[in-house]
Amino acid sequence: IDPRFTEGELVRVAGGRHQAEAELIQGMLLEEGVPSMLRRSPGFDVPDFLAAGPRDVFVPEAGAEAARQVLLEAEMAPQSLPAGEPRGGPAGHAARLLGAVLAGGALAALVAWTAIQLAG
């Protein structure tokens, strides 16, 4: 572990879909001298899940940029957002879902109207 990367508060730099993926990321960071810590993502911190469920990968602030660079080189970090920034989140997902439901309802209404016009 490189002592230069051990200073500062812990920041989230990546996430794994399950424990094995998060440990792979942790191993890649360790090869570059960046210490890291895994934690179950919020909502999945139930012991019954064991190795299932997403994990967050945290590193000290001093090692965050080096960690992001390692993840970018391995194509395991998002290109458009910094690794610590949240994505669209639940609000973005809810908006897309609402749009899909409304579009589906409009299509069903159009098909029903067309069927009524052809039958009558």
Domain ranges of the chain: 3-87, 88-120
Q: What is the pTM of this model?
A: 0.60
How remote is the C-alpha of 38 from its chain's centroid?
Answer: 14
Looking at the domain covering 3-87, what would its CATH class be? alpha beta
Is the distance from CB of 64 to CB of 85 less than 8 angstroms? no
Question: What pLDDT score was predicted for residue 89?
Answer: 57
> pLDDT tens track of the chain, all 120 residues?
888 888 999 999 998 888 899 999 999 999 999 999 999 887 776 777 677 888 899 999 999 999 999 998 888 765 544 444 455 556 677 888 899 999 999 999 999 999 999 997
Output phi, psi for 58, to 5 deg. Answer: -115, 145
